[in-house]
Chains A and B, each alone.
Chain A
Amino acid sequence: MEPFLWLLFSAGGVVSALLVPALLFLFGLALPLGWVTPDYTHLSAVLGHPATRVVLLGLCVLALFHWAHRFRYALYDGLQLKHLDRVINLLCYGGALAGSAAAGLLLLT
């Protein structure tokens, strides 16, 4: 199981590092502060496109699994709670699964 969780973790790290800063910059700074003025009808068409939604869902899912893996080890080693591994695994990966489902609902329906 560990190899697959690690693959999700590292894929999540890579896509988050690449996409999240760009998205934050665009939608958190550049747009609200008026540095760029997009054509809003075009923008909403792009955001509404199924491909965009699938990409965003992929980003959410991978980022969540990245978090789950990191947080699991932060609890294991950082707080030395390794004996609670079952609860921790359930919390972390269960949380990532639940978050992925929520993201799927929001983005695909």
Chain B
Amino acid sequence: MADRITLRVTRYRPESDTEPTAQEYDIPLRKEWVVLDGLNHIKDHLDGTLSYRWSCRMGVCGSCGMIVNGEPKLTCATFLKEYAPGPIRIEPLSNFPIVRDLVVDIGDFMRKLPRVKPWLIRSEQERPAKEEHLQLPAEREEYEQFSMCINCMLCYSACPVYALDQDFLGPAAIALAQRYNLDSRDQGSAERMDVLSSADGIWACTFVGECSAVCPKDVDPAGAIQRYKFTAAMDALKTLLLPRGAR
């Protein structure tokens, strides 16, 4: 294994650049280094002006997502040696506006997320619980996969529908809605339905499946969307066929 590798990193400084450019850095190639270690090496030793987000270094915080050689990746979970001999292209997540260098603005997602009410909803009439709402392991399994989402935005970056239409609610927001819809303690699925089953919700998805392919947490947002399409379609059928009282 060669002992050095080149990173071609996107630079964008809004105060001086009109558009993003690429800058090359030559860094040591160590077998235990992930892409994020390479960026930290640049920041510490070669160029302190490089901007990027990270925090946990262990696939938990979801802040280090970038495009590595054309694919959305968590840079703390992507080893440099997989791309040897390089060069490796490091770009900011696509489908989001660039703030600076590798930092993108995910405000669009942050505004969409509360619309699906990603919290446990209980009926208004209910009196405050005196004890915790118990849940069987099997009931927890129903939604556990969707609760693994770390909001890393790799799925939005990979989604061709979101690339064409930024009004699309998007994979993670829908998976997170399902995380609560499928929770036995939740009573809010009816409240979430309007937003989810609108034209910009699940029906905009054409089941390309890239979101699930890139998700580092195996959330399977594409599966969540397909499953909800069936729920919503059945609900629409009932509305059409059954008299009000029987629904």
A-side residues, CB < 8 A to B, are 2-4, 6-7, 10, 73, 77, 80
* B residues less than 8 Å from A3 (CB atoms): 197, 203, 229, 232-233, 235-237
Knowing A2-B203, A73-B206, A77-B206 touch, does A7 contact B161 (C-beta < 8 A)? Answer: no
Bound complex: CA A2 to CA B203 (Å): 7
Listed A/B pairs (14) with beta-carbon separation below 8 Å: A2-B203, A3-B197, A3-B203, A3-B229, A3-B235, A3-B236, A3-B237, A4-B233, A4-B236, A4-B237, A6-B233, A73-B206, A77-B160, A80-B164
* B residues less than 8 Å from A7 (CB atoms): 233, 237
Bound complex: CA A9 to CA B197 (Å): 17
* B residues less than 8 Å from A10 (CB atoms): 229-230
Fill in one digit per residue for B203-227: 1 if any A CB lies within 8 Å of its CB, else 0.
1001000000000000000000000
CB-nearest residue of chain A to B198? A2
Grouping DSSP codes into helix (H, G, I), strand (E, B) and loop, the B interface class, with mixed when no group exceeds half, is helix
Fill in one digit per residue for B111-155: 1 if any A CB lies within 8 Å of its CB, else 0.
000000000000000000000000000000000000000000000
Closest chain A CB from B204 CB (angstroms) = 10
Which residue of B199, B237, B240 is within 8 Å of A2 (Cβ)?
A: B199
Interface centre among A2, A4, A10, A73 (most CB of B within 10 A): A2
CB-nearest residue of chain B to A80? B164
Closest chain B CB from A3 CB (angstroms) = 4
Bound complex: CA A66 to CA B233 (Å): 16
Bound complex: CA A83 to CA B199 (Å): 15
CB-nearest residue of chain B to A4? B236
Bound complex: CA A10 to CA B231 (Å): 13
* B residues less than 8 Å from A4 (CB atoms): 233, 236-237, 240
CB-nearest residue of chain A to B160? A77
Bound complex: CA A7 to CA B197 (Å): 14
* B residues less than 8 Å from A73 (CB atoms): 206
The reply to whether A6 and B161 form a contact with Cβ atoms under 8 Å apart is: no
The reply to whether B229 and A6 form a contact with Cβ atoms under 8 Å apart is: yes
Closest chain A CB from B178 CB (angstroms) = 17
Bound complex: CA A7 to CA B226 (Å): 11
